Structure 1
Amino acid sequence: MIDRLAYALLAFPSRIRDRLWVAKLRRYCCAAEDAEFTPQTSIHNPFARAAVGIGSRSLFMGEINIITDAAKVRIGDWCFVGPGAKLWAMESIDIGSRVFVSHGVQVFDNNSHSLSAGERHERYRELRTAGRHLTPEAVVHRAIRIEDDVWIGFNSAIMKGVTIGRGAVVGAGSVVTHDVEAYSVVVGNPARVVGQSKT
């Protein structure tokens, strides 16, 4: 009995900390009341709260990075985004309902940095000396759409401008650089069709 009580007292502060963390996360997004977060969840959104929307019954364990004031991330109902999954938005990442995004998946609607070595160096110097970018970096970006019932295997990368059709499956470790047809199974780098999924 004493061991159980001691354990409960030790666990109590971490439960409070976890609840405070989740409450803080909700200030950075518009999430359904029954959407769930975990202590691993991270949302970096220095702009409008409405830039991030998470639907009903979704469990989000990953990270969202809103990079520009025009960027938006939308996640539908009954979705799962696993630990270590990261969504990097400069324009738009739109995820339908009943989508499974496994752990370690990276979703980029942008190139992250300029293709110019000089510009990359100048922006890094600004970051290290001024603590922020003083001028915007010319970064290519295009919206991503992941339709309903998609499953993305662990450690995959979804690149800018891609649409993944309804019910498609992306195999683990794949790099998706082109649109994926509905109910296709794709694998590899670059991802290629190897079969069909079921409805």
Structure 2
Amino acid sequence: MKKLIKKLITGFLKKINIHHILNTLYQEQNNRHIETNVINSGAIFYPEATVSNAQDRSKITVGQGTHIRGMLHVFKYGGQITIGENCYIGDHSRIWSGDSVIIGDYVQISHNVNVMDTNAHELDAIERAERYVDLVNNGSWAEKGNVLTAPVIIEDYAWISFNATILKGVTIGKGAIVGANAVVTKDVPPFTLVTGNPATVKKHLTEE
């Protein structure tokens, strides 16, 4: 009898395709969340894309033709993300802003890339521990405190390869390439290839 009931339930679930229904409901909810947290000028957000905006929707702007598979996060204490037209943000990539991240047009960001304009935590150990406890107990901070931040700019036509990390205060020049697994701590000149940790110039590229 138990086997029969199990078979009937399994057949019923397959018939109504519950997995598809749940996915559809989740995607509709995620789309509504994105609409209320992003100024979207014709970008495409994929099902795996996530948005976390602790301020108002004007703090995240995405241009036409851009495809988002990763995460866009703006802290409550500050931050702004501006992404231009015809860009690509790969899956599991994270763009976190407590200051300002500006991405130009035709920028390609691969998967598992981290772009951070903030240290996210304080340098002082005691202060960091106390603020962490406050974060857990009371939620996101409205005041930045002593967290260090500095703007990040990624100019037009740049390509950031997989697993790369772009740290605060960095400008990636027009047409530059950041190699896989690179950690960028200083400005990257236009039309250069940088690799390594810390990233250094390995090759100069022609604009053509």
Pick one of 157, 168, 185 that aligns with 2:176. Answer: 168
SS in 1 for 2:91: coil
C-alpha distance in 1, partners of 2:134/2:156? 41
Using the TM superposition, give the Cα deviation of residue 134 of structure 1 relative to its aligned residue in structure 2, in angstroms: 8.1
Aligned to 1:180: 188
TM-score, normalised by the number of residues in structure 1: 0.89
Matched to 1:193, the amino acid is V
2:162 aligned with 1:154 = yes
C-alpha distance in 1, partners of 2:136/2:18? 43
C-alpha distance in 1, partners of 2:192/2:183? 15
Aligned to 2:50: 42
C-alpha distance in 2, partners of 1:10/1:134? 39
SS in 2 for 1:26: helix
C-alpha distance in 2, partners of 1:134/1:90? 11
C-alpha spacing 1:129/1:196, structure 2 compared with 1 (3 Å): same
Q: Does the aligned pair in 1 maintain the 2:76–2:140 contact within 8 Å?
A: no
C-alpha distance in 1, partners of 2:22/2:143? 43
C-alpha spacing 1:60/1:132, structure 2 compared with 1 (3 Å): closer
Runs of 5+ unmatched residues, structure 1:
none
Aligned to 1:27: 36
Using the TM superposition, give the Cα deviation of residue 6 of structure 1 relative to its aligned residue in structure 2, in angstroms: 4.9
Aligned to 1:100: 108
C-alpha spacing 1:10/1:120, structure 2 compared with 1 (3 Å): closer
C-alpha distance in 2, partners of 1:90/1:58? 22
Aligned to 1:63: 71
C-alpha spacing 1:196/1:116, structure 2 compared with 1 (3 Å): same
- Cα deviation digits, residues 97-124 of structure 1 (max 9, x gap): 0000111100111111111001001111
Runs of 5+ unmatched residues, structure 2:
1-13
Q: Does the aligned pair in 2 maintain the 1:123–1:137 contact within 8 Å?
A: no
Identity %: 32
C-alpha distance in 2, partners of 1:100/1:49? 24
Superposition map of 1:109-148 within 5 A:
109-133=117-141, 136-148=144-156
SS in 2 for 1:87: strand
Matched to 1:85, the amino acid is S
C-alpha spacing 1:70/1:19, structure 2 compared with 1 (3 Å): same
Using the TM superposition, give the Cα deviation of residue 21 of structure 1 relative to its aligned residue in structure 2, in angstroms: 1.4
Runs of at least 4 residues off by over 6 Å: none
How many pairs does the alignment contain?
A: 194
Q: Does the aligned pair in 1 maintain the 2:110–2:161 contact within 8 Å?
A: yes
Aligned to 2:24: 15
C-alpha spacing 1:128/1:152, structure 2 compared with 1 (3 Å): same
Using the TM superposition, give the Cα deviation of residue 69 of structure 1 relative to its aligned residue in structure 2, in angstroms: 4.9
